[in-house]
């Protein structure tokens, strides 16, 4: 039996009453209502990605079979061949009810190359700035807004780097918003479903990690997700990644101690200066 076409699926509103049962079950495990809704959204995204992969495999199989049939038809006179009546799939696809904002084109190009991209580019601020200034010349030279000490300037993004906020210094709300939008862009940029799923599980693992409630815990979470995703992406491009979905507790503790020592050093320095 062929798989169901999932391309017209629309993400449910997990804040609706219909999802109260699933949401409450997560809340009873110690999550806030907002966190429970986010967990449901990420779980739906992972399942949707798998369904899309199955559908695309089915379409590829059909195209392969169609190519074999065309080879047979080549020996049949043109006037004896049947008229094509099959309509493209997109004719059954309605206009989306929600159009999300998008990051800059050069950001998507970097994703296609599986380069590391700061999550700031996927925040509302990053996307709105990109929408306002993201232009291209006839030679396809992309320009973007570059932060300088004199404000924002339009420059060739290939010749200069933006001053986007490092992931470590984002707020938790910015991280939550940006990671969801980034994950939605990964499939458009030809990432494998298992690569996307690893990132989904990576963020879920951090979302429920017990260190968040400890001193310097949130700071450790933010530094961990920045450094680990940066390293994992570089290794992914070189063909030697690892299972990012499982938190390395030793590294997490090391980063928390690092942050604690930095703060104590700052306090000591301030005391000497005064």
> Which pLDDT tens digit goes with each residue over 192-230?
999 999 999 999 999 999 999 999 999 999 999 999 999
Q: Cβ neighbours of residue 181 under 8 Å, at least 6 residues apart? A: 100, 101, 103, 122, 123, 127
Count CB neighbours of 217 within 10 A: 16
* Average pLDDT value for the chain: 81
pLDDT of amino acid 159:
36
Lowest mean pLDDT among 11-20, 128-137, 223-232: 128-137
- State how far the Cα of 21 lies from the Cα of 40, in Å rounded to an integer: 12
């Amino acid at each position: 039996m062929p798989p169901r076409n999932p391309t017209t699926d629309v993400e449910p509103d997990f804040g609706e009453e219909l999802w109260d049962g699933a949401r409450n079950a997560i809340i009873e495990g110690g999550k806030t209502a907002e966190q429970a809704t986010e967990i449901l959204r990420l779980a739906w995204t992972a399942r949707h990605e798998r369904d899309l992969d199955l559908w695309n495999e089915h379409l590829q199989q059909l195209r392969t079979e169609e190519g074999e049939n065309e080879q047979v038809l080549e020996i049949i006179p043109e006037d004896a061949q049947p008229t094509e009546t099959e309509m493209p799939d997109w004719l059954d696809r309605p206009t989306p009810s929600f159009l999300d904002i998008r990051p800059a084109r050069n950001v998507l190009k970097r994703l296609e190359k599986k380069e590391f991209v700061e999550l700031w580019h996927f925040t509302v601020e990053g996307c709105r700035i990109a929408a306002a200034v993201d232009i291209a010349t006839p030679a396809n030279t992309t320009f973007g807004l570059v932060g300088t000490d004199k404000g924002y300037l339009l420059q060739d993004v290939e010749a200069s780097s933006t001053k986007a906020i490092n992931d470590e210094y984002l707020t938790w709300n910015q991280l939550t918003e940006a990671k969801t939008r980034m994950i939605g862009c990964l499939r458009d940029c030809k990432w494998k479903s298992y690569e996307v799923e690893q990132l989904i599980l990576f963020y879920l693992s951090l979302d429920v990690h017990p260190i968040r409630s400890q001193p310097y815990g949130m700071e450790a979470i933010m530094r961990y997700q920045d450094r680990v995703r940066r390293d994992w992406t570089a290794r992914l491009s070189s063909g030697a990644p690892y299972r990012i979905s499982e938190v390395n507790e030793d590294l997490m503790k090391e980063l928390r101690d690092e942050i604690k020592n930095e703060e104590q050093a700052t306090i000591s320095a301030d005391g000497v200066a005064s």
